[in-house]
Structure 1
Amino acid sequence: MRPILELLEKHGGSVWSLNPEDSVYQALEMLAECNVGALMVMEGGKLIGVFSERDYTRKIALAGLSSKDTKVKDIMTSQVLTVGPKANTQDCMALMSQKKIRHLPVVDGAKVLGMISIRDLMDDIIKDHEQTISQLQTYITS
């Protein structure tokens, strides 16, 4: 179980974010450019929400609204769960599973450090298990 900050550092510390006044269409373009499923919504350097593909599908596409005429602030998830940089990967996985979320911003006080996804955690857990298996195989054969 490593601190989540280590996982963030592997990604280069990118903080992809939107302005709450951006259109949902602009947000979709940015999701595609960054090849991610969610973006943080920031105002004045402060995290005020998260915009995800799930927000789009449920609140725009299914509602028949226009992504070009709707602002991110109108559909973003504003009740954002966050974790600190010392949280470990297992605790983050448990929180995401319990709350049925796929993206989790990492903050240190008021400073936003980045966001992890369930995929980031799964990849890390798989890598950890592969290392353990390799070490056990080496131990058994030596």
Structure 2
Amino acid sequence: MVRAKDLMSKKIVSIGPNSSMLEVSQIMTNRNLKHLVVQENGKLVGILSDRDLWKSIRSDLVDSQHMELSLNSTQKVHDYMNWPVYVVSESTSVQKVIEEFLAQRVSAFVVENKKGEMKGIITIDDILEYFLGLIQDDEKTYHHESLY
């Protein structure tokens, strides 16, 4: 049985709630991330997604044909982060993770071990990549079998 720990990303990057959204933009861009965990004094206090970053971007009409997008350096993570942070155990089945995604309507869960330690993040993208792999394997098998 496939579990959350099998699909999660172990690449966890955390930021503080008082980090600027400009800093977040640079981290997400430079490290190609869609989610950052927000920690304060070693405690999980929120999660920030690329969608939250987009919400913080201001658009100013420069002229009738051009719009300028900008981030204000005074905007802080605590103004855009999501709370509560939904958590699943690393032993949670993929089926249960999907059910939780549908129930909670979020795009990521923090994955913890039995001791409550953060071990990774599992996202809807991770689930989709897993199913894409299954479909591609099935297609290869189907095409291979149909040649005979």
Say whether the fold is shared (TM-score over 0.5).
yes
- Report the count of equivalent residues: 138
1:112 and 2:109 aligned: no
Q: Which amino acid aligns with 1:128?
A: L
Contact 1:46 1:110 in 2 (8 A): no
Q: Which amino acid aligns with 1:120?
A: D
Contact 1:24 1:71 in 2 (8 A): yes
User: CA 1:30–1:4 in structure 2 vs 1: closer, same or farther (change >3 Å)?
Assistant: same
Q: Aligned partners of 1:92, 1:20: CA distance in 2, in Å? A: 27
User: If you compute each CA radius of gyration, which structure gives the higher value, 1 or 2?
Assistant: 2
Map of 2:6 onto structure 1: 6
Structure number having the greater strand percentage: 2
Aligned-pair identity (%): 20
SS of alignment partner, residue 73 of structure 2: coil
Q: Which amino acid aligns with 1:74?
A: D
1:21 and 2:18 aligned: yes
Contact 1:82 1:107 in 2 (8 A): yes
Q: Aligned partners of 1:63, 1:2: CA distance in 2, in Å? A: 43
Structure number having the greater helix percentage: 1
Which of 122, 127, 135 aligns to 1:129? It is 135
Instruction: State the Cα RMSD in Å.
Output: 2.6
Map of 1:80 onto structure 2: 85
Q: Aligned partners of 2:33, 2:6: CA distance in 1, in Å? A: 19
Return the TM-score normalized by structure 2. Answer: 0.77
Q: Aligned partners of 2:31, 2:93: CA distance in 1, in Å? A: 25
Shift of 1:50: 0.4
Shift of 1:23: 0.7
SS of alignment partner, residue 90 of structure 1: helix
